[in-house]
């Protein structure tokens, strides 16, 4: 599939190796070997097993759990490539961790997503390739090019096939934003799948705790499809789905999100653990569609969560980068 004169090398961290292998299959290249090891004190070491001199190098790794280990793996790989005289280095970060720390919410807060952007640049990355940043403005934190892909294209294709408009009347469907922050992306999705738009208005008293207040829009008797960028503890998503049914009178609720962080929540008083995926399984949500920017938890034993691969999208973007052609169709989509 690759066609430019400069050789292409794709490397992976530990967490995103299956995705990196899938990207390589799409590209028609082999995943390059890099040895990642950890010293007794936890320090990360990387060795690139073959030359990268003058070559187009891509390191694929999401900064999901373990966040700091994966971030360091990216940085150390980039440094190794730079010191080995790589021609160009692209950090492929399907899920960009620390993106939710994008502003000062109160006095003396850090802006950690900007710090991470500085670290990637200082390590020697020439560009960053990522998908559905929590806030699109984070692109401005970088002093190097950022290619910001959209997962909406994949959701549009999936639901247009699942609920084919030749069979289903889309006037009986509603695209729902689970909060005010997701309205823009949900509006784009709603327009492309020819559905009305509704919003769940909520108040979040503290981190990972939300209280649903109201449903804005007509969802009574309709099938709702909620669209979000991140599902973390799943409390917000499940509460929004419950509100759509109990307050709005929705017929059924489907949900989709780009990044399935799916963190466990530990009760500070009792120590009891609530798994995000178990919360989803016990909710009114009929199906949660996730992209595979983050692997599902190893202990996942449910039936409601479905994943579709971003490998073709990232492979296409990498092809455009290596050929130095426009990447717009990976961002906007063709449908």
Residue whose C-alpha is closest to residue 82's, from 123, 116, 142, 143: 123
Burial 42-74 (b: 16+ CB within 10 A, else e): eebebebeeebeebbbbbbbbbbbeeebbbbbb
**57 alpha-carbon distance from chain centroid:** 22
Give the separation between CA 30 and CA 11, rounded to whole angstroms: 9
Question: How wide is the angle at C-alpha 188 spanned by C-alphas 186 and 190, nearest 5°?
Answer: 65
Residue 309 three-state SS = coil
Residue whose C-alpha is closest to residue 307's, from 231, 240, 237: 231
Say which DSSP state 99 is in. T
Of 202, 242, 251, 306, catalytic? 202
Q: Is 202 a catalytic residue?
A: yes
Separate counts of helices (H) and strands (E) for the chain: 9, 16
| DSSP β-ladder status, 127-131 and 88-93 | parallel
Contact present, 202 and 210 (Cβ < 8 Å): yes
Burial 125-161 (b: 16+ CB within 10 A, else e): bbbbbbbbbbeeebeebbeeebbbbbbbbbbbbebbe
Could you list the active site residues?
202
């Amino acid at each position: 599939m690759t066609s430019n004169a400069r050789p292409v090398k794709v490397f992976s961290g530990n967490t995103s190796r299956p995705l990196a292998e899938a990207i390589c299959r799409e590209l028609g290249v082999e995943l390059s070997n890099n040895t990642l090891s950890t010293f007794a004190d936890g320090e990360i070491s990387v060795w690139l097993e073959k030359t990268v001199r003058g070559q187009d190098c891509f390191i694929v790794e999401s900064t999901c759990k373990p966040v700091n280990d994966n971030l360091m793996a990216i940085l150390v790989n980039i440094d190794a490539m730079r010191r080995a005289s790589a021609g160009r280095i692209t950090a492929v970060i399907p899920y960009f961790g620390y993106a939710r720390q994008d502003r000062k919410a109160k006095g003396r807060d850090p802006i950690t997503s900007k710090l991470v952007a500085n670290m990637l640049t200082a390590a020697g990355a020439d560009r960053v390739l990522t998908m559905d940043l929590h806030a699109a403005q984070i692109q401005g934190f970088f002093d190097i090019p950022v290619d910001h892909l959209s997962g909406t294209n994949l959701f549009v294709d999936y639901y247009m096939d699942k609920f084919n408009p030749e069979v289903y009347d889309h006037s009986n469907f509603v695209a729902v934003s689970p909060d005010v922050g997701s309205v823009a992306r949900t509006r784009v999705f709603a327009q492309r799948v020819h559905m009305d738009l509704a919003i769940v208005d909520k108040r979040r008293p503290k981190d990972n705790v939300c209280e649903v207040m109201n449903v804005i829009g007509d969802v009574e008797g309709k099938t709702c499809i909620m669209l979000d960028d991140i599902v973390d503890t799943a409390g917000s998503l499940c509460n929004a789905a419950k509100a759509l049914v109990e307050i709005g009178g929705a017929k059924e609720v489907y949900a989709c999100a780009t990044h399935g962080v799916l963190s466990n929540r530990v009760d500070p008083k009792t120590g009891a653990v609530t798994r995000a995926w178990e919360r989803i399984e016990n909710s009114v949500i009929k199906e949660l569609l996730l992209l595979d920017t983050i692997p599902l938890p190893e202990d996942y034993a449910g039936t409601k969560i479905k994943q579709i691969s971003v490998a073709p999208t990232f492979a296409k973007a990498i092809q455009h980068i290596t050929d130095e052609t426009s990447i717009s169709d990976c961002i906007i989509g063709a449908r």
